[in-house]
């Protein structure tokens, strides 16, 4: 079975999530996850940096519709 790569955006200064351990745990527990730490962001990347997050989502959707998302075989 082929699984698309998943993207997780985490604020690098989140008071609720310790960014590096959370990234490491997500990569260990979630198949094919691409974890991105959003610079100078606390717990709300979509609120603090809406243009960046929207562009990141649109880039992912554009790749999906063009058939360019990487897939991994499980």
Domain ranges of the chain: 2-69
How would DSSP label each residue in the chain? -EEEPEEEEEETT-SSS-HHHHHHHHHHHSTTEEEEEETT--S-HHHHSHHHHHHHHHHHHHHHHTT-S-EEE-
Is the pTM above the cut of 0.95? no
pLDDT interval class at 68 (50, 70, 90): low
pLDDT in tens, 1-37: 445 568 899 999 999 889 999 999 999 998 788 899 9
| Gyration radius (Cα) of the chain, Å | 13
What is the total residue count of the chain?
74
User: Which pLDDT value is given to residue 1?
Assistant: 40
pLDDT in tens, 41-61: 999 999 999 999 999 888 877
Dihedral class, residue 67 (left if φ above 0, else alpha if ψ from -120 to 50, else beta): left
Adjacent-strand bridge partners of 37: 10
């Amino acid at each position: 079975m082929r699984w698309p790569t998943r993207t997780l955006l985490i604020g690098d200064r989140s008071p609720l999530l310790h960014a590096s351990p959370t990234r490491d745990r997500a990569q260990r527990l979630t198949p094919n996850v691409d974890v991105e730490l959003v610079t100078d962001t606390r717990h709300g990347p979509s609120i603090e940096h809406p243009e960046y997050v929207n562009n990141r989502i649109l880039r992912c959707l554009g790749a999906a519709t063009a058939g360019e998302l990487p897939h991994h075989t499980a």
